[in-house]
Structures are given as structure tokens and as C-alpha cells.
């Protein structure tokens, strides 16, 4: 998950949701699947905010892995958050966040590369937190504005075509 808090509400009024609303949304998206562990990429400083999640799930943050990152430049931490988030079975991100968008682009690329369910139609198992859950990536959607706010299947669809042939020449 990517839960943006911080200054985001100044840019997008109504974009900051309560922890209870986020947890309820998460539960509705994952209701048919057993989930025990959640990784949350966030800029929220008060980890107690996530108590509604911790009541039902094991919740992990990048901070839980700092012992493995002691020699890594802290400027790379957001990138590591994105990489981890991109590899989950399900992803729920913050609506209109470019951080979330890039995670979805990577998820789309992995779905194509690994031939995951729905890859040929540009589908990935990604959702957005907003006033209600948005299933933006469960069905194909064409490019439209705002361009910076979403990732579109055209960004990953068959981008490696003929790459292997060219490298084997």
C-alpha cells in the first residue's frame, strides 16, 4: 500500500482519509483473499495512525528493515519503498499521487514480463484510495488527462518486443 499523508491534503482537498476509512477500504478490496501481512509505504510520521490495520494484520514499514539498509544512502529509501510496493499481490495507492503511479507502472511492467493474469489486456491488481475505492487498473483504460496522475497500459504493453532478438545478434 501507499498511503500519502503529509502535505497532500493542501494540493488535493479531501484526499486525506482517516485510518478507519483506509482500513475498511483495504478490507473491502481484499475480502475474498486471505491477507496476513501488509507493507505500507507512507510519509506518515506517527505510526500509531495505522492501529486499525494492526488490529487485523501484521503491518510492516520500511523502518522495520533499517538493519538491512544501514549502508544504503537514505536518498534511495523512497525508491526501495516503491520497489517493495510494486511486487505485492495487490496494491492500493493514493489517488492522484505520482509516487503511486510509478508503482503501478512497475506493476504493469512485471505483469507483462511475468505473463500474470490479465496482462494481455493491461490489467493489474491495483486500486486507489479515494472517497471510495477506485478500481482503475482492473479494466483497461485509455490515455486521458490528468496524464501525470495515472499510469496507462501503453507504458508497459509489449515494451520489450524484439529486445531479446536484438541482444542475441
What number is the average pLDDT over the span 151-156?
75
Q: Answer for the pair 94, 3: CB distance below 8 angstroms, yes or no.
A: yes
Whole-number percent of the chain with pLDDT over 90: 41
Residue 77 is predicted with a pLDDT of: 97
β-pairing, 91-94 with 126-129? parallel
What number is the average pLDDT over the span 27-45?
85
Whole-number Å distance between alpha carbons of 77 and 86: 14
**Complete domains list, the chain, with CATH:** 2-167 (3.40.50)
Whole-number Å distance between alpha carbons of 92 and 153: 17
- For all residues of the chain together, what is the average pLDDT? 84
Per-residue pLDDT at 50 exceeds 90:
yes
Q: How many CB atoms lie within 10 A of CB 28?
A: 11
β-pairing, 37-39 with 58-60? parallel
- pTM score, two decimals? 0.83
Query: What band does 91 get if pLDDT is binned at 50, 70 and 90?
Result: very high
Whole-number percent of the chain with pLDDT over 70: 83
pLDDT digit string, tens, across residues 106-147: 999 999 899 998 888 888 888 888 766 566 666 666 776 776
Where does 8-84 show beta strands of DSSP type E? Answer: 37-39, 41-42, 58-60
Amino acid at each position: 500500500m501507499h498511503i500519502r499523508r503529509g502535505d497532500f491534503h493542501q494540493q488535493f482537498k479531501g484526499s486525506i482519509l482517516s485510518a478507519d476509512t483506509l482500513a475498511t477500504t483495504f478490507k473491502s478490496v481484499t475480502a475474498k483473499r486471505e491477507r496476513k501481512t501488509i507493507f505500507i509505504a507512507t510519509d506518515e510520521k506517527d505510526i500509531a495512525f495505522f492501529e486499525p490495520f494492526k488490529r487485523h494484520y501484521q503491518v510492516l514499514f520500511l523502518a522495520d528493515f533499517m538493519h538491512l539498509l544501514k549502508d544504503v544512502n537514505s536518498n534511495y529509501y523512497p525508491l526501495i519503498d516503491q520497489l517493495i510496493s510494486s511486487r505485492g499481490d495487490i496494491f492500493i495507492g493514493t489517488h492522484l499521487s505520482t509516487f503511486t503511479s510509478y508503482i503501478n507502472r512497475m506493476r504493469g511492467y512485471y505483469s507483462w514480463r511475468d505473463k500474470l493474469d490479465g496482462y494481455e489486456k493491461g490489467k493489474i491488481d491495483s486500486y486507489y484510495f479515494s472517497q471510495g475505492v477506485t478500481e482503475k487498473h482492473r479494466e483497461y483504460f485509455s490515455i486521458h488527462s490528468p496524464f501525470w496522475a495515472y499510469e496507462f497500459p501503453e507504458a508497459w504493453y509489449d515494451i520489450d518486443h524484439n529486445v531479446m532478438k536484438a541482444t542475441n545478434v
